[in-house]
Amino acid sequence: MNINSQKGGVGVWILVIIVVVAAGIFWVVQNSSTDLYMPPPPDSSFESMEAVVTYDVNGFSPKIITIKKGGTVIFRNKTGARVSIASGAHPTHLLYPEFDQYKTDQRGKDEFRFLFEKVGEWKYHDHLNANMTGTVVVTE
Ligand SMILES: [Cu+2]
């Protein structure tokens, strides 16, 4: 009798431990799965690190684009003609001398990527069709 009731007592404790452990595992699994399905926090600085400007026969679009310092603007040529993006002012491009597709290894390509390291409002144009202009605004 004594042995039997002791066995019963141990059995209850084992059951209690199983329930506690199971509850613990359930809690951990539920918490980690909540983490997995949490949407990433909005990070606007990441989004603004790259921006695309499309250039077609109607001009640059968007005409004014804002990007953070250290961000890259990708100019895509859809005009069907040869183009060369450069900072103002035509023809010397001394406003932002490095911002000149012709001076880079992307010369003649339909995609020109430029990383802006200087804060400011940078007017640019297509050197081969200087009436086509746009502005890159670089913020801190
Ligand atoms: Cu020019």
Mean pLDDT of 44-66: 88
pTM comes to 0.68
Query: pLDDT at residue 5 above 70?
Result: no
Centre of ligand 1 to C-alpha 39, Å, is 45
What residues are paired with 59 via a beta bridge? Answer: 56
Share of the chain above pLDDT 90, in %: 66
Cα(93)–Cα(127) distance, integer angstroms: 9
Q: How confident is the model at residue 52 (pLDDT cuts 50, 70, 90)?
A: very high
Q: Distance from the CA of 127 to the center of ligand 1, in angstroms?
A: 4
DSSP state letter for 118: S
Residue 77 to residue 83: CA distance in whole angstroms: 7
89 CA distance to ligand 1 middle (Å): 7
Task: State how far Cα 66 lies from the chain centre.
Answer: 14
Query: Ligand 1 mean position to 124 CA, how many Å?
Result: 8
Average pLDDT, stretch 91-116?
98
Ligand 1 centre from 96 Cα, in Å? 12
Whether the CB-CB separation of 86 and 93 falls below 8 Å is answered with yes
Do residues 50 and 75 lie in contact, with contact meaning Cβ atoms separated by under 8 Å? no
Indicate if the pLDDT at residue 96 is higher than 60: yes
Q: Where are the beta strands (DSSP E) in the chain?
A: 50-56, 59-61, 64-68, 72-77, 85-87, 111-115, 120-126, 129-139
Instruction: Report which secondary-structure segment, H or E, holds 135.
Output: strand 129-139
| Ligand 1 centre distance from Cα of residue 134 (Å) | 12
**What pLDDT band is residue 34 in, cutting at 50, 70 and 90?**
low
Q: Which two tokens mark 83?
A: 């183009």
Q: How close is the Cα of 104 to the center of ligand 1, in Å?
A: 14
C-alpha 128 to ligand 1 mean position (Å): 7
Which residue, among 91, 88, 59, has the nearest Cα to 75 in the 3D structure?
A: 59
Query: How far away, in angstroms, is 140 Cα from ligand 1 center?
Result: 27
Cα dihedral value 113, 115, 120, 123, nearest 10: -20
Between 21 and 113, the more confident residue is 113
* pLDDT over 70 (residue 99): yes
pLDDT at residue 85 tops 80: yes
